[in-house]
Amino acid sequence: MDGQRRGNRSGGLETLTAALGLKSVSAAQPWTTPAGVPALSGVVEHVSQSPYNALLRLDKPGPGTAALGAVNFGGQSMVTLNFYLYGDHAAGTVARETPLWQAWIQERFPTPSETSKSESE
């Protein structure tokens, strides 16, 4: 899942990690998303500022990993969330959780419409 925002990639990742409740969490710490965010919890495996990314070991909504990142892209920053879920229930979990995460990322990091793209050029 991707979302875009104006600004630099460090601002994109800062916005993303703050929204996910990861802003002051370090590697090896347990973590859970705050209210208003689809449920995730687990352990922070890695957080880096160069490149701007984070890796999380998940136990909720099921066993897996999540990779977060931010890159500069055409004058905007793009944030990415990649979920890798494992186990017998992974397919059902993906089917249930994907619409929640797509809505959440679109609300916080909306993709610019074609109209606003042409207006800003």
Model confidence at 6: pLDDT above 50: no
Question: Using CA atoms, how far apart are residues 59 and 49, in angstroms rounded to an integer?
Answer: 25
99 assigned to some structural domain: yes
Q: Tell me the pLDDT band of 113, cut-offs 50, 70 and 90.
A: low
Handedness of CA 76, 3, 15, 65 (dihedral sign): negative
27 assigned to some structural domain: yes
Residue 104 has which token pair?
């959440």
Instruction: Report strand pairing: 52-60 vs 41-49.
Output: antiparallel
Model confidence at 114: pLDDT above 80: no
**Residue type present at position 51:** P
Domain that includes residue 96, residue range: 2-112
pLDDT for residue 8 = 46
pTM, whole model, 2 decimals? 0.77
83 assigned to some structural domain: yes
Q: Residue 35's domain is classified under what CATH number?
A: 3.30.530.20
119 assigned to some structural domain: no
Domains identified in the chain, total number: 1
42 assigned to some structural domain: yes
117 assigned to some structural domain: no
The three-state secondary structure class of 40 is coil
118 assigned to some structural domain: no
Model confidence at 115: pLDDT above 50: no
Q: Tell me the pLDDT tens digit for each residue of 23-75.
A: 888 889 999 999 999 999 999 999 877 677 889 999 999 999 999 888 776 77
121 assigned to some structural domain: no
Radius of gyration of the CA atoms of the chain, in A: 15
